[in-house]
Amino acid sequence: MSEDLYQEIILDHYKNPRGKELNVTSRGQSHQVNPTCGDEVTVDVGLNADGTLQVAYTGQGCSISQASASVMSELINGKTPDQAAPIQAAFMELMRSKGQSEPDEELLEDGVAFIGVSKFPARIKCALISWMALADSQIKAQLTTEMR
């Protein structure tokens, strides 16, 4: 059951985070904390010349929160806001699924490993914190799909 939660992919992202502390020209920043356990993530969003997103994050917290931030940055970096939106929606959906959904691997790639997390109510927030920060920083940067 711990194995359910801590899939290899998650532990790998935790130990070897991707895209952490990337240098981006930030257009919007969001700092999110999980007030029950003190996890913190800051996400910066910028824009490449070709209209794709740059995403950088820093943070500290449990393996789930930090691995999720790493997966998030890997998935969203270099995507246009239009391409990113369905990925973001799919990850939110996965976290609401209580382990019952069959996530789309094409879309979520390493993100599918988080299906086990959705069975542990106390950990869902950990997995979502970076995605919340992403959505909030996109709003601040006016780089969401709805806003264009």
Partner 1 sequence: MFDIAKVRADFPILSRTVRGGPLVYLDSGATSQKPFQVLDAERHFYENSNAAVHRGAHALAEEATDAYEGARETIATFVCAETDEIVFTKNATEAINLVAYAFSNATDKARQGIEVDQRFVIGPGDSIVVSEMEHHANLIPWQELCSKTGASLRWFGITDEGRLNIESGVIDSTTKIVSIVHQSNLLGTINPVREIMEMAHAVGALGLVDLCQSVPHMPVDVVDLGADFAAWSGHKMLGPTGIGILWGKSDLLNSMPPFLTGGSMIEMVNIDHSTFAPAPKRFEAGVPMVAQAVGLARACEYLTDLGMENIFTHEQELTAYTLAELAKLQGVRVIGPTDMVERGSAVSFVVDGIHPHDVGHLMDSKGVAVRVGHHCCWPTCRRLDVPATTRFSTYLYNDKADIDQAILGIMAAQDFFGSAPRVSA
Contact positions toward partner 1, by CB under 8 A? 1-2, 5-6, 11, 36-40, 60-65, 120, 123, 126
Of 2 and 23, CB closest to partner 1: 2
b/e sequence 91-102, b meaning 16+ C-beta within 10 Å: beebbeeeeeee
Q: How far is the CB of 60 from partner 1 (least distance, A)?
A: 6
Q: What share of the chain is helix, strand, coil (3-state, %, to 5)?
A: 55, 15, 30
Cα–Cα distance for residue pair 10/72, rounded to 1 Å: 12
Cα–Cα distance for residue pair 83/56, rounded to 1 Å: 18
Of 120 and 136, CB closest to partner 1: 120
Contact 111, 91 (CB under 8 A): yes
Q: How far is the CB of 16 from partner 1 (least distance, A)?
A: 13
Of 46 and 61, CB closest to partner 1: 61
Q: How far is the CB of 122 from partner 1 (least distance, A)?
A: 8
Q: How far is the CB of 28 from partner 1 (least distance, A)?
A: 25
